[in-house]
Amino acid sequence: MEERIKVDLKDGVADVRLVRVDKMNALDDHMFQALIDTGEELKTRPGVRAIVLSGEGKAFCAGLDMGNFGKMASGERSGGQSSTGEALLTPKRTRAAPTAPSTR
């Protein structure tokens, strides 16, 4: 599977980039899971003081991958977790690291 997220850590700042340029970084099951995993990793990594979220290519994020809706309706979700989006949006105790979207 392709890498969906790239993380560079420099001087306490985690640069988290969405990597799905061909789909303008649209969110699919794999991207949601990669965001969850990255967040879990960063909240326990010492030295992270801030997180910058950006997208590679010409778009930050096109939103949900509309091609995924058919899979969701038929139960063919590739992530295998019915509540991936819910897990991403559910508030969790995290470390105190400001998170901000990147602008160009």
Task: Quick: pLDDT tens for 26-50.
Answer: 999 899 899 999 999 998 899 999 9
Place of tokens 């995993």: 37
User: Which of 26, 94, 14, 85 lies closest to 55, judged by CA?
Assistant: 26
Number of H helices, E strands in the chain: 3, 4
Tokens for 49, please give them.
Answer: 């003081």
pLDDT at 69 over 80: no
Hey, what domains does the chain have and what are their CATH numbers?
A: 5-101 (3.90.226.10)
pLDDT score, position 4: 93
Full-model pTM:
0.72
| pLDDT tens track for 80-92 | 445 565 665 565 5
pLDDT score, position 81: 46
pLDDT at 14 over 80: yes
